[in-house]
Every structure is written in C-alpha cells, then in structure tokens.
Amino acid sequence: MTNRTEFFIFLYKIKFASWTTFIFYFFHISSEIYCNYTYMTASCLANLSIFFRNFYVAFCTKN
C-alpha cells in the first residue's frame, strides 16, 4: 500500500472520517491512480474528481 492509502486508513481508524467520506476519498484516489496509470492529462483527473464528488453528494449524503 502507498503512504497515502495508509494515511486515509489511519484517519478512518481514529474516526476522523465517516464511511462515506472514506469511500469518497477512495474513489478520488482511485481516479487519480487511473489517470496516472493511463498517462492522461490533469483534465481527466479533474473530470473524474467532479464526477465522484457529484456521486458522493447525490448518493452518500443525508439531506
């Protein structure tokens, strides 16, 4: 695991992050890794981040 992954797991373990926040960061990091792995531009990362943020707001938050 990367240091960043361990960092977010640490935040979750100390209850700093809720499950939904943890999942949001997981998707965000996954999109970052995907864009870097496929040698895409920063706009790819930005678009994926916006998509996952919208998904998080729409399905993971309580209104």
CA nearest 21: which of 53, 63, 45, 50? 53
What pLDDT is attached to residue 29? Answer: 73
Q: Where are the beta strands (DSSP E) in 1-63?
A: none
Name the pLDDT band for 63 (thresholds 50, 70, 90).
Answer: very low
Give residue for tokens 């792995």: 37
pLDDT, one tens digit per residue, over 23-52 is 777 777 776 666 666 655 666 667 777 777
What pLDDT is attached to residue 1? Answer: 46
Q: Report the alpha-carbon angle 47-60-8, nearest 5.
A: 75
Contacts of 49 (CB under 8 A, 6+ apart): 28, 31, 32
